[in-house]
């Protein structure tokens, strides 16, 4: 009978350790989630700023009088591709 009681006590101790570890992991997980959310927000802000800067740069390039139509079309396509890539990156960040 003492053997059974010892086993139960041992099991309870191990269970308590597991519960403490679970609580620690839950807290750590919440911290990671908060950090990830902040990083996503920061990344989205930077991507928006980059997109705005690229659009301004593209507009200045397109408005140059000495640019021939073929060159202009090439730049427009390249800029459109950048915008699509940025949009895809933003969509991938938001599950």
pLDDT digits (tens, 9 = 90+) for 38-54: 998 888 888 888 888 88
Q: How far apart are CA 87 and CA 85, in angstroms?
A: 5
- Computed from CA positions of residues 29, 34, 35, 37, in that sequence, does the dihedral angle turn out positive or negative? positive
The pLDDT, as a whole number, for residue 17 is 94
Contact 40, 93 (CB under 8 A): yes
The pLDDT, as a whole number, for residue 64 is 64
The pLDDT, as a whole number, for residue 95 is 57
Check pLDDT > 80 for residue 14.
yes
Residue with the bigger pLDDT between 88 and 44: it is: 44
Q: How far apart are CA 5 and CA 26, in angstroms?
A: 31
């Amino acid at each position: 009978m003492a053997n059974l009681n010892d086993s139960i006590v041992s099991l309870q101790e191990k269970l308590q350790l597991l519960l403490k570890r679970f609580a620690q992991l839950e807290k750590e997980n919440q911290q990671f989630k908060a950090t990830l959310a902040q990083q996503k927000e920061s990344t989205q802000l930077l991507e928006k700023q980059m997109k705005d800067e690229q659009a301004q740069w593209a507009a200045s390039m397109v408005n140059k009088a000495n640019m021939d139509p073929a060159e202009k079309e090439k730049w427009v396509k390249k800029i459109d591709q950048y915008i699509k890539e940025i949009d895809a990156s933003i969509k991938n960040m938001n599950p």
